[in-house]
Structure 1
């Protein structure tokens, strides 16, 4: 007969055997779970106050893989179908029919059809003055998966307007679009901490194929040094626009990879033409003459940029390169003299008043305040006083206020590989981004003719003429075309730095366990 002590010992040994076997099976499941429970933390350099894709000028919903547009742009800056599988026009761009892909659902399970697309585009028009002007839609008719759009006037390049992230298609009946938009993308919003981060999770029924990550964090931090510190400490996996002075360290560390590609972005100096002094093109030319673009590229941009001779990259067929060739202090003084100024006691004086200007910029692109300081220093030598003001939301500030004279600004000037959007929004009277309040009859006629022209060669020529006029009258100073620089942990796979800056968290993004 087995006594109690022996019985307890036997049971204990049996339990040990069972637990010894169990970890093998459990460890397999843990390993498998690790393969599927993958996540990344991405840090962007601008903060978002809203996730509403129709009003957010940070485009977080599209960049974060929540929303998608009818048309997208590839790495070669050519448009391609996305939620729309094809489109056509039979009257030179007045009426367009878009066929919406079938078997796509929103992240709440609702089916995507032409009526849902129509409602979303109508909301875009209602919410965004800039997009209302850009889309120029007269009416829309939905029939199953066919959406017919009639414009107020022919627009031969209309499909390219639907690349813009503010046209992302969402469920307009969602309860809280500002915090939790419902789109068709690979990730859906779990939570939004305004100004801090967006928590995302994989949408299991994504139409575009398997989503490799289970979750992601789209974080915001406007401090470039803090972003690189987060990458180095492991609290971030991918950071957008690290400080340029950190690239040498990151590139020599095998733990990280650095990706840099030419962008379609241009750093610009805007002139507020409600300022009497800046209405004179000679004053604008004097200030432009002080911009040593080569010095900016080498000393401030760490050679991660190209000097600009206009708003568009020179490889575009519509780019004009007839920039102001006059450089240096002597030329700048001549322009000021043409404008009626005299240099007295190191001050530029006209009608007894010194020339004093305010310049607004922002620190989300850390090179902009440095460029501002260079302009300020050079202008001081010329006798012009410039006061620098840092603002948080430069888009809203320069559009809503007139208490600025100069603005250092950065824009994606050819996001769809076409000149029309930038020229229309920035230089037409009432244009959604015409912060400088430009109203030039000759330029307006050129842009309107461009917008109604079908032939690509003629469009390129008209865009060149418009850009040449902008350069000649110095309506805007184009400074540099910065590279897009992204740094990420070597475990991150399938990251693509897109020149348009629209697509960041995708279904292909992956990490090694």
Structure 2
């Protein structure tokens, strides 16, 4: 970003604050005055374009935030190499031969932040809450029974669950104290076992403040207080880090990252992620025509997008599952790779023509083609790839109208199917295994599959994945399912981000991981 542009943005920010509102693409954002101390406590301030809609971990995907903010933990944890280990449970969990009965031993020294002891009964009640009051639990597994005896928890499942420890690492299964009044959990936050406790959460600005958990079970918590400040305006996030309003920022835009790379006052943590930036195509409307979907896909020059527009901070997309994992990126075949001449021919041959002379095609039945492309700006690549797709498709007479909203609104629209095209960043590997995310977004009946996509062959393969224990067989079946998605022109896989956390040199212990939901822990500290 050039200096002149930065100055202009700063003036606009100042004017907005004078009016009492700083807008981040529809979401009200309260500016942080400065990093340092608050209420006599040394305070770490983290800026992000991502926010919780609620702190109740069983609602939609909001469980990510109690984990990110250090409030909650899960029985198991995903490691950077995509392995799984115990977190609140000891390592050494086991199952019977057919993977329908799993036994976990809850660590004996753990307490909730209110001082209540964590035993197997408390874990059982927390997991039961997911299935009784949440909506996505059954997409992971269906428990027949859960039995608690001291620190031992036995989970019996309806079907074989060969990767149950992976699934229990998902933030949906954050362990919370259900023995307390949780009627205001959305705003007050859960009682968890993490190193921090929610002090406040503002549902309007999305600002969350956490303080040191004095009853933390795993050593001294090094930071007294953390403020998480939200804005979907990437320039505000970047400028706030430069000006001192933030000590650290999650996912700095590719347009600004070089500013911090060249400045010795900052350090950067980066990692390949399990994320894929996806353009979902709603087959319940005009995109029910596979020819139109194929033409759209063949107009996406993803290599150019990533090199020239995303400044090599993203890897060009091909498969549903990120190139950072071994799930077919180099071996599967993309039948709709970039081929603009063929895209034009497909449209011409199918009868898509500009009959009214406005420069855009109509359907063979004479209906105008104007595809509403929904996106949010909390992920910096989204506006760029949406506008790039719009420009590319305009060259072959396909009209696309970008439609921007805040993140939560886009998630709601995705769930309801209120779009033609929709851009979303999905961590397909959030359990160190892609099964559940694939089911959620592409399998018939998936909570967020509102595209109308329904392939019997694909569904059958994913059913087989669910009960298959052998890792190589699981991977092979998953690759077959991915190939079907490619053959069916089900979605646009734009790119895979290289995630980053940029922080001042006096900050330690902020994490950037493939899981993308372990931000802070007991070792997070301010050293000035």
TM-superposed CA distance for 1:335, in Å, is 2.5
The alignment partner of 1:348 has SS state of: coil
**1:391 maps to 2:401:** no
Residue 103 (str. 1) matches residue 109 (str. 2): yes
Secondary structure of 2:292 counterpart: helix
Is contact 1:267-1:410 (8 Å) kept?
yes
Number of the residue aligned with 1:357: 371
Matched residue, 1:238:
248
Unpaired segments ≥5 residues, structure 1: 1-32
Alpha-carbon offset, residue 457 of structure 1: 1.3
Q: Residues 279 and 424 of structure 2 are in contact (CA less than 8 Å); yes or no, is this contact kept in structure 1?
A: yes
Counterpart in the other structure of 1:168? 174
Which one of 97, 102, 105 corresponds to residue 91 of structure 1?
A: 97
- Matches of 1:250 and 1:315, distance apart in 2: 25
Bigger CA radius of gyration: 1
Q: CA deviation at 1:37?
A: 5.5
After the TM superposition, which residues 40-189 of structure 1 pair with which residues of structure 2 at under 5 Å, given as runs? 40-55=44-59, 57-58=61-62, 59-85=64-90, 86-175=92-181, 176-178=184-186, 179-189=188-198
Specify which of 193, 204, 223 is matched with residue 202 of structure 2.
193
Cα–Cα, structure 1 residues 482 and 160, in superposed 2: closer, same or farther, change >3 Å?
A: same
Q: Say which is worse superposed, 38-47 or 70-79, in terms of deviation.
A: 38-47
Deviation at 1:136, TM superposition (A): 2.1
Q: Single out whichever of 235-244 and 173-182 deviates more from structure 2.
A: 173-182
Match of 2:443 in 1: 428
Distance 1:326 1:505 in 2: 40
Quick check: which one's helix share is greater?
A: 1
User: Does structure 2 retain, via aligned residues, the 8 Å contact 1:47–1:222?
Assistant: no
Tell me how far apart the structure 1 counterparts of residues 487 and 93 of structure 2 sit (CA, whole Å).
39
User: Secondary structure at 1:480's aligned position in 2?
Assistant: strand
Q: 1:326 to 1:424 in 2, by over 3 A?
A: closer
- Could you give the per-residue CA deviations for residues 379-403 of structure 1, whole angstroms, max 9, x where no partner exists? 1121111111112221111112x33
Contact 1:174 1:181 in 2 (8 A): no
With 63-72 and 43-52 compared, the bigger mean Cα shift is at: 43-52
Partner of 2:361: 348
- State the Cα distance separating 1:151 from its structure 2 match: 1.2
Partner of 1:30: none
Q: C-alpha separation between the residues in 2 aligned to 1:447 and 1:242?
A: 35
Determine helix, strand or coil for the equivalent of 1:226: helix
RMSD: 1.9
Please name the residue that 1:308 is paired with: 317
Instruction: Tell me if the contact between 1:443 and 1:469 (Cα under 8 Å) persists in the aligned partners.
Output: yes
Question: 2:282 matched to which residue of 1?
Answer: 272
Partner of 1:210: 220
In the TM superposition, residue 245 of structure 1 has moved relative to its aligned partner by 1.3
Q: 2:270, 2:512 within 8 Å by CA — same for their partners in 1?
A: yes
Distance 1:200 1:343 in 2: 57
Q: Provide the residue aligned with 1:510 in structure 2.
A: 525
Quote the residue 1:382 is aligned against.
396
Report the equivalent of 2:458: 443
Structure 2 gap ranges (5+): 1-36
For residues 335 and 172 of structure 1, the distance between their equivalents in structure 2, rounded to whole angstroms, comes to 57
- Kindly state the Cα deviation for residue 505 of structure 1 after the two structures are TM-superposed: 1.3
Q: Deviations over 1:126-184 (max 9, x none)?
A: 23222232232222121111111111111111111111111100011333321231000
Distance 1:291 1:141, change over 3 A: same
SS at match of 1:189: strand
